[in-house]
A and B are shown apart, each in its own frame.
Chain A
Amino acid sequence: MYRLTSRVAVNLLTFSSLMCFLLILSAQTSEAKNSEDIRCKCICPPYKEIAGQIYNQNVSLKDCNCLHVVEPMPVEGKDVEAYCLRCECKYEERSSGTIKGTIIAYLSILGLLLLYMVYLTLLEPILKRRLFGHSQLIQSDDDVGDQQPFANAHDVLSRSRSRSNMLNKVEHAQQRWKRQVQEQRKSVFDRHVVLS
């Protein structure tokens, strides 16, 4: 029962964090558009002896046309219409908040992962050795459970009790995860049985 509730709690936690993520994301996208984030870009091809030119203005969608954006107008009088007909004006908008948020979030996750990787590969073995003297901890029950089919079932059924405090649990979960990754690594990188 205890395991069940903890599982529900973990699920709820993941779920709520996911919702938060989505909320933040939607909040960012609907963030008030600041003036930097809209533009009307007109590309005017060469016309007579005037070279091609790009014009960029901060105007709203309804003003996004050649007459409002192209300033100063390189031609005069009756040529304006002919010139403007060739220009293509595009209204574009972006959300710089989303871009900033995404890049910063991405970089921080990447940084965390790298730190964690460095910790796992370099620091942890040293710490363990210093704390326990021997590296027996790393040698977990790798070989148990293969031969006898019942050993695992024992494991399955006896998992419920034991383990009282939270720290142990986290530790255990981490150990399990590490073993799993190790197995994946073996099958993908060493034995090439999957994903080759």
Chain B
Amino acid sequence: MLKLCALGLKASALEERLPTVVTMDNGGFCDDNYQSGSSDDELVDISDVTVDFSEDVPPLDRDYSAGRCKAEWRPNNSPKLMDLLDDTVPGIGTYEDFNTIDWVREKSKDRDRHREITNKSKQSTVALLFSISDAFSGWLLMLLIGLMSGALAGGIDIAAHWMTDLKEGVCLNGFWFNHEHCCWASNETTFQERDKCPQWKSWAELMVGVSEGPGLYVVNYFMYVCWALLFAFLAVILVRAFAPYACGSGIPEIKTILSGFIIRGYLGKWTLIIKTITLVLAVSSGLILGKEGPLVHVACCCANILCHFFTKYRRNEAKRREVLSAASAVGVSVAFGAPIGGVLFSLEEVSYYFPLKTLWRSFFAALVAAFTLRSINPFGNSRLVLFYVEFHTPWHLLELIPFVLLGIFGGLWGAFFIRANIAWCRLRKNTCLGHYPVLEVVVVTLFTALLAFPIEYTRMSSSELISELFNDCGLLDSSKLCSYTSNSGSASGSVNATAANGLGARLAGQGLYTAMWQLALALVLKMFFTVVTFGMKVPSGLFIPSMAVGAIAGRLLGVCMEQLAIRHHEQDIFRGWCSPGADCITPGLYAMVGAAACLGGVTRMTVSLVVIMFELTGGLEYIVPLMAATMTSKWVADALGRESIYEAHIRLNGYPFLEAKEEFRHKTLATDVMRPRRSDPLLSVLTESRMTVEEVERLIADTTYSGFPVVISQQSPRLVGFVLRRDLIISLENARRHQEGVVSTSPILFTECDPPMSPSAPPAVKLRSILDLSPFTVTVHTPMEIVVDIFRKLGLRQCLVIQNGRLLGIITKKDILKHMAQMANRDPDSILFN
């Protein structure tokens, strides 16, 4: 772990530039002007935050104020204007890989910066312009994120569509056209076979020249499997070779990052490139996965990269996370063509800190992105998504019962999926299965392709399937799903009956029965392969697969209901359902409701899901069915398991994520959680003025804690402040290099003023500038629920525990997570990072 972080970071400076400098402007402090020799922002070792404690605390009667200056505290009447670009030691104020940021510190840094710019702007016109551009930069950044993500999403859509069709054949007009665009202007298309035209050649026709018979089928089957294997193989080796972080859906990690965790390189350039390229490959390989989650990741990568051009966001981790929140809204906005749904998704599902300002910015960015995507027009139908549907047939009140049934199914599926997928992922994580990621992907693709090709509904891409299932059978449809017979006794056969025949016009025909059992097979297949596929080492989202499962189930139920209603239309219950001349029941609506229910069961979204669904469909009258199904599905799923799939993955990986939804109900006190425990060694503290460089260096070398409290003296452990290990190391190193006469015996001073010293003594190293003078403290008797609340709401990283003003211990975020895991009877050691 340590090695990973140290090296990973060292290598990552170029990739992910973190805020370099800026000290906090805490009250009055002495001027420590370090000359910065370089401006790099690399890192040092990491470690756990835990600090020891001294048991025997002598009474606080010592002359602890000896040698200090009188004006220890003075009001902050003249904030020190520092030049934010240089002047401080590089690296101070940055974080190491796999560490948690301190929201309070970052926010106060930003406030200081803002205050300084405002003050300066009164002095000159240039500064005024600078302040205006600074205020404007947030919106400009949003505009750029929207443009870039929209463009990328459009490209991904076009390329994925083309590659999916490449498995079947190629266009002779120009190889870059997909099947639909190949036959764009063709007049040879017929009503029954909409997508057949002479320009589009299947591989069998090209290679062996047959156009009919079993030979065609076998060759096409073979080519389909080969292409699928090739795409999946390329995807997984590219991920492995260039950007391992590009695999998976990315939403659990982004959730964790937004809560303040740092994963260096996770949102970098290479991740962006590889994720974009391999996402297309993975989607078009026919694996049961979607592109929505990865698109959120792609949008966040865009945001992170664009943040580098704006000092305000480059230097501040908290501000950058606000931008990333907005970017995740952009991701959903382009994935579903649902800008408002995207904003709500960001608010409900991924974001940790979401102020109103971010809401407006997300709104704007989502709008820009949707507009960009629309102007690229990737599907050639002026819609943002493939499965936009439009029907406005009313629904009957009693139909709420089947909708609730669908909700129950969705909840059950969600709970089952989460259990099964987590079990599978745990297997992958802990056994030798995980040692063969490439082989795993290839094998899963092989089986998916082999099983998917024979069934019509699994052969097509998931989004096409969903669009077909959502579709209501009109007069214009000729698919098997719409093959109804008319029972009017005429000779019209199995051709689509017209609704003009009145009641009973939609009795199921032979084609529909075939379609039904094919759909049932497809349902089983999709359910199984979704569980196995999600979490493989290729970019993989699960929105589309879950929706496909729900849509199939919904359509099946819808058709059953429809047939039931038609066959028994004279009975009391169904009497009102079918009015002459109109369709009784819209199976497409059931598919939609089923899709929403299943997605809700897996992700546990409610509001955003319903909004996304009605933005997708454009039908406001279906809000109530969607809401009923989503809510039921959430209840059922929550009853069976509390976590959503993303939270389950966060827990599986042991990311330090403090869930805001979970309540803390145990009656423990801060003293039960704080470190050190009774049996542990003493709390490692620094003293304000009595330690030498050598002692501090030894303390750093001996411990692995990421921060040290500073007290007045060992005998009287009254708290002065808190200093971070990283800042301390860098400052000491800097002093050794650049300050004259610093030797191992030089004292280290955290005080404001110098104590009297003999002239022959080596010069002191003054480190007050890196000292956090306002660390958060709680008393030993603070209930843990309040402590947890403080951590959640303020985004703290650590909190010191005092009693009667004496420092007793420290509580870190990791301690809290461990404590919560322990309280919930889970393994506390599963929290890996601090």
Contact = CB atoms under 8 A, between A and B. Distances in A.
Given A93-B377, A192-B434, A102 B159 contact: yes
Given A11-B309, A54-B194, A103-B159, A25 B42 contact: no
B87 interface: no
A171 interface: no
B6 interface: yes
A12 to B, nearest CB: 9
A22 B145 CA distance: 11
Interface string B504-543: 0000000000000000000000000000000101000000
A76 interface: no
Nearest to B492: A46
Contact of A148 (B240, B425, B701): B701
A81 to B, nearest CB: 16
A86 B500 CA distance: 12
Given A153-B733, A159-B42, A176-B10, A102 B158 contact: yes
A146 B729 contact: no
A181 B43 contact: no
A168 interface: no
A115 to B, nearest CB: 12
A158 B715 CA distance: 39
A146 B3 contact: yes
A104 B10 contact: no
B437 interface: yes
Given A146-B6, A153-B730, A180-B8, A56 B189 contact: yes
A92 B378 CA distance: 12
Contacts of B243: 181, 184
Given A102-B158, A117-B238, A195 B245 contact: yes
B501 interface: no
Contact of A11 (B240, B308, B478, B537): B308
A18 to B, nearest CB: 7
Contacts of A106: 155, 159, 277, 280
B191 A92 contact: no
Contacts of B425: 196
Interface in B341-384: 375-377, 380-382
A40 B683 CA distance: 78
B277 A109 contact: yes
A60 to B, nearest CB: 15
Given A56-B186, A106-B155, A186-B4, 4 more contacts: A22-B148, A159-B42, A176-B10, A190-B435
A132 interface: no
B124 interface: no
Interface of A: 3-4, 7, 10-11, 14-15, 18, 21-22, 25-26, 29, 36, 39, 43-46, 51-56, 58, 86, 88, 92-96, 98-100, 102-106, 109-110, 113-114, 117, 120-121, 142, 145-146, 148-150, 152-160, 173, 176-181, 183-190, 192-196
B561 interface: no
Contacts of B244: 181, 184-185, 187-189, 195
A98 B43 contact: no
Contacts of B6: 145-146, 152
B93 interface: no
Contacts of B654: 193
Contacts of B234: 110, 114
Contacts of A179: 7-8, 10-11
Given A29-B376, A156-B730, A100 B40 contact: no
Interface stretch (B177-185, B410-418, B740-748): B177-185
Nearest to A117: B241
10 contacts: A25-B151, A29-B376, A103-B162, A103-B176, A156-B42, A181-B270, A184-B244, A190-B435, A193-B653, A194-B655
B737 interface: yes
B464 interface: no
A104 to B, nearest CB: 7
Contacts of B274: 113
Contact of B247 (A113, A152, A188): A188
B247 A195 contact: yes
B303 interface: no
B158 A99 contact: yes
A16 B41 CA distance: 25
A191 to B, nearest CB: 8
10 shortest A-B CB distances, which residue pairs?
A52-B191, A160-B38, A180-B11, A94-B380, A103-B176, A153-B733, A188-B244, A45-B475, A176-B11, A183-B8
B681 interface: no
Given A54-B191, A159-B42, A180 B280 contact: no
B697 interface: yes
A35 to B, nearest CB: 9
B382 A45 contact: no
B428 interface: yes
B695 interface: no
A145 B381 contact: no
Nearest to A172: B14
B158 A188 contact: no
B42 A152 contact: yes
Nearest to B44: A152
Given A22-B151, A96-B181, A192-B434, A149 B187 contact: no
Contacts of B822: none
A184 B8 contact: yes
B137 interface: no
Q: Which of B91, B248, B253, B377 is most buried by chain A, counting CB atoms within 10 A of its CB?
A: B377
Nearest to B176: A103
A183 B376 contact: no
B447 interface: no
Given A25-B151, A179-B11, A160 B39 contact: yes
B162 A152 contact: no
Contact of B185 (A10, A39, A184, A187): A39
B2 A146 contact: yes
Q: Which of A10, A158, A159, A179 is most buried by chain B, counting CB atoms within 10 A of its CB?
A: A159
A102 B176 CA distance: 9
Contacts of B382: 92-93
Q: Which of A22, A117, A120, A195 is most buried by chain B, counting CB atoms within 10 A of its CB?
A: A195
A189 B537 contact: yes
B97 to A, nearest CB: 9
Contacts of B475: 45, 86
A194 B425 CA distance: 12
B613 to A, nearest CB: 24
A169 to B, nearest CB: 10
B429 A39 contact: no
B83 to A, nearest CB: 14
A18 B151 CA distance: 11
Nearest to B280: A106
B39 A183 contact: no
Contacts of A94: 181, 184, 377, 380
Contacts of B241: 117, 120-121, 181
B189 A156 contact: no
Contacts of B191: 43-46, 51-54
B761 interface: no
B66 interface: no
A157 B37 contact: yes
B45 interface: yes
A113 B159 contact: no
A183 B238 CA distance: 16
B460 interface: no
B237 A117 contact: yes
Nearest to A195: B248
Nearest to B302: A18
Interface string B654-683: 110000000000000000000000000000
B43 A156 contact: yes
B537 A173 contact: no
A56 to B, nearest CB: 5
A183 B265 CA distance: 11
Contacts of B732: 153
A195 B265 CA distance: 13
A100 B162 CA distance: 11
